[in-house]
Structure 1
């Protein structure tokens, strides 16, 4: 039995987990004999450490966002030898222990921290299974391991160029867009009413405090809102207390199929610029507005998304109804946003988790080495002929 090891970092739900889960599902559909295991590295190292860092992270980004933004730009956006040496001193032996225990046939890193540690191990001559970086944001931070990684799965051509500029072999890089569960396919059923359906996400990390200014009871009766409250029970109860017929709250949505149903219902998405959520919205061709941006990763994502014309930033001082209706009534703006979404989805080498799982299966998990080498040659010759 072949073993695939997925390495996010924290236990808390994130894009790193959602991409890993989507790929695990795709591997199982390819071949049930492939054993997939997901381990968040910090919990493996120390459950109390993972809990402490997770709570610190949430508190930091919500209470002191400017400080977190500075720290992220200073230490995560650049290759910092001091920080990397510190990570190595504290964690590299634990990573070696984990890999020795699990004995995977391929390692898929959906978080930069795990990738860095394995890259360090390989730089010291320690043999590991092939390593695949799967990037879940629209940029590459300075923590990701690069030199000794076997394959890089990046969302954009710009990210591929960044890796090439840093000396990565372009033949080891594939553009995938943001990988999401294959349930999120393009195409929506016809509408059953004339109202505008607006889906609002991002509640679990602080949207509740600004909900009244974001969506008010005096809003347009032409718009129905569904608020995704996540695990934020306070937000869910606040929506219930509004007792407004066109505003509905929904608790945490665990299943991709249920989320896909909500996307099919929606005409518009209002959210934060998390990588996976934005990948889903682009795939569903939803006009997307951003209500707030968390410091660090989301700030970097937002710059790319705005520059690419994929989102519209909301003004917190202007009623949301007015802003949404104004943008949607502007045919030129709508045309450019739709063109940007099509362009993003068009420029990919692999376009789904099932396609990537098939590629990784054939590349790294087949016993016949001659077929393995020939398959790689065929894949990349086709890619380069299409350029």
Structure 2
């Protein structure tokens, strides 16, 4: 079996993390599988990737309202209405050729997309019969689906919520048996045990602060406020931000960490804390939902994180503290067992709605492939080979 997983950027993002989770999950069940993660934009043109990623991160940081407007008016539109897709169409041929190059060189049995852009390019190619002969799959990395994702022409979908599943079925004409409500894929390490718990003690809480791989503070000027809460110990994930890490060293109630690659180490840290302050990124939120850790959102990036926040707040899965000046309310909530338990119960309800997984999809593809071989054999056509080794 050969599977290609298409992410977008070579820099660490939620899309690349999900690609790695899928790779590990497949290898666990199919150790002989050949799996290749390809950062699509880097593969297409490394200089272009560097330029686009630089503009993207600078745009969000320096002009968040402008990016928010762009995302809402462009990325969230249906394909027929999308200005972005119409404008990119003049360049689409270039990226289509890159997708075809991947398929022709790698000859995969399955292509999985963890980013909307390569999915959209595959959709364009799928309009031409035979252009993409292998099976295709979307693994969504947020709690909603933007308009760039190809939906109708993709064979299988790993969706985060019942709402997304219903949208694909009702509005995109996707067959229900092609949609698997798996949640956003996270490592099995975070599913290993039930981590729901009552508050650990009456005094001396431990809070994890996670601001993404860049180590951005999760609310404006919030770091300097930590010293105001001597009874709370903060573990701060600084990502790859060395400057932030150095600034937090030797502060009495802060333990800073650089980017944690080891999932077991991160899981141990999750187990040690009473709550987490973070942005509503799909992957991190999904990890802590599985751990059933109280989540506090104080800030978010415009675009996808804002849409994630709407979903999470609407279902009472997280606490949304709208102003850094109200940070003191976090301490009160940490000692309010009723409020904590309410969120934990909602997390349990969400998790209980998840069914199936990647292994189920692969088994289904295997059976469909065998049936195709059988039909073709009966018709006297050449055997096309078995998708998965038994």
Shorter-chain TM-score range: 0.7 to 0.9
Q: 2:330 aligns with which of 314, 324, 332?
A: 324
Give the 3 Å change call, closer, same or farther, for CA 315–34 of structure 1 in structure 2.
same
Give the 3 Å change call, closer, same or farther, for CA 15–317 of structure 1 in structure 2.
closer
SS in 2 for 1:200: strand
- Give the C-alpha shift of residue 331 in structure 1: 4.2
Any conservation in 2 of the 1:362–1:372 contact (CA below 8 Å)? no
Q: 2:98 aligns with which of 91, 94, 113?
A: 94
Q: 1:139 aligns with which of 127, 134, 144?
A: 144
Any conservation in 1 of the 2:215–2:239 contact (CA below 8 Å)? no
Give the 3 Å change call, closer, same or farther, for CA 31–223 of structure 1 in structure 2.
same
- Give the C-alpha shift of residue 118 in structure 1: 0.9
Give the 3 Å change call, closer, same or farther, for CA 20–170 of structure 1 in structure 2.
same
Where does residue 122 of structure 1 map in the other structure?
126
In structure 1, how many angstroms separate the alpha carbons of the residues matched to 2:242 and 2:18?
25
Where does residue 363 of structure 1 map in the other structure?
364
In structure 2, how many angstroms separate the alpha carbons of the residues matched to 1:179 and 1:246?
33
Query: What residue ranges of structure 1 are gaps of 5+ in the alignment?
Result: 374-387
- Tell me if 1:246 matches 2:247: no
SS in 2 for 1:216: helix
Would you say how many aligned residue pairs link Structure 1 and Structure 2?
A: 364
Q: 2:303 aligns with which of 296, 299, 311?
A: 296
Q: 2:281 aligns with which of 264, 269, 274?
A: 274
SS in 1 for 2:190: coil
- Tell me if 1:336 matches 2:342: yes
Any conservation in 2 of the 1:217–1:244 contact (CA below 8 Å)? no
1:289-335 CA-to-partner distances (Å, cap 9, x unmatched) read 01211011101111111111111122434253x22122233344323
Task: Identify which range, 26-35 or 6-15, moves more after superposition.
Answer: 26-35
In structure 2, how many angstroms separate the alpha carbons of the residues matched to 1:134 and 1:192?
39
Any conservation in 2 of the 1:203–1:235 contact (CA below 8 Å)? no
Q: 1:179 aligns with which of 166, 185, 201?
A: 185
Where does residue 258 of structure 1 map in the other structure?
265
Where does residue 230 of structure 2 map in the other structure?
221
Any conservation in 2 of the 1:6–1:107 contact (CA below 8 Å)? yes
Any conservation in 2 of the 1:112–1:144 contact (CA below 8 Å)? yes
Q: 1:112 aligns with which of 100, 112, 116?
A: 116
- Give the C-alpha shift of residue 170 in structure 1: 1.7
Any conservation in 2 of the 1:115–1:144 contact (CA below 8 Å)? yes
Q: 1:237 aligns with which of 246, 254, 260?
A: 246
SS in 2 for 1:230: coil
Any conservation in 2 of the 1:107–1:131 contact (CA below 8 Å)? yes
In structure 2, how many angstroms separate the alpha carbons of the residues matched to 1:209 and 1:260?
20
SS in 2 for 1:207: coil
Where does residue 381 of structure 2 map in the other structure?
none
In structure 2, how many angstroms separate the alpha carbons of the residues matched to 1:265 and 1:297?
29
1:71-114 CA-to-partner distances (Å, cap 9, x unmatched) read 11111101225145245234112211221111101111111111
In structure 1, how many angstroms separate the alpha carbons of the residues matched to 2:368 and 2:218?
55
In structure 2, how many angstroms separate the alpha carbons of the residues matched to 1:168 and 1:328?
43
In structure 2, how many angstroms separate the alpha carbons of the residues matched to 1:88 and 1:218?
52
Q: CA RMSD in A?
A: 2.4
Give the 3 Å change call, closer, same or farther, for CA 172–361 of structure 1 in structure 2.
closer
1:148-176 CA-to-partner distances (Å, cap 9, x unmatched) read 11111101000011111222112211101
TM-score using structure 2 length = 0.87
Any conservation in 2 of the 1:62–1:206 contact (CA below 8 Å)? no
- Tell me if 1:347 matches 2:353: yes
Query: What residue ranges of structure 2 are gaps of 5+ in the alignment?
Result: 375-390
